[in-house]
Amino acid sequence: MQTVIRTPSAEATAEPAAAPPPMAAASAAAGSTDQEKLDVMEAERLRRDAAYVLRDKMAQLANQQATCERNFGVYFSRGGPNGSITGAVFQQSTLGETNAAASRCIARTNAMQQEVGVARAQCAARNCQP
């Protein structure tokens, strides 16, 4: 699942096309400060959103790594020696399951690391603190 952080809309960042009429100068000055405040609040909200997305992606990555480690513990505890006379021989089916689980975990972890990288780049672009 790819998370996309929104950017300010084109209308909010576009420059006015024409100068305001002279008699509306006082109201335009008040409106521009209101617009500036709105722009600052929008930028702050985007910064917070980017920080939240980065925090959540990092938590998902940590959870994925913990799940993989826990699953490997289960696989290796099941794959103990079979008690044969010739010595400690691991069962082939357990080894195959373990290899398949390792491949899945590596693929998921790599995908999540890429998502964290994208979230870090978006966060850095907005000067947010993770």
- The length of the chain in residues reads 130
Q: For every one of its 130 residues, what pLDDT tens digit does the chain have, with 9 covering 90 and above?
A: 566 566 555 445 555 455 555 554 455 555 678 899 999 999 999 999 999 999 999 999 999 999 998 888 776 666 555 555 555 555 566 677 788 888 999 999 999 999 999 999 999 999 887 6
- Measured between alpha carbons, how far is 112 from 102 in angstroms, rounded to an integer? 15
- Round the CA-based radius of gyration of the chain to a whole number and report it: 27
Which letter, b or e, does each residue of 116-128 get, where b requires 16 or more Cβ atoms within 10 Å of its Cβ? bebbbebbeebeb
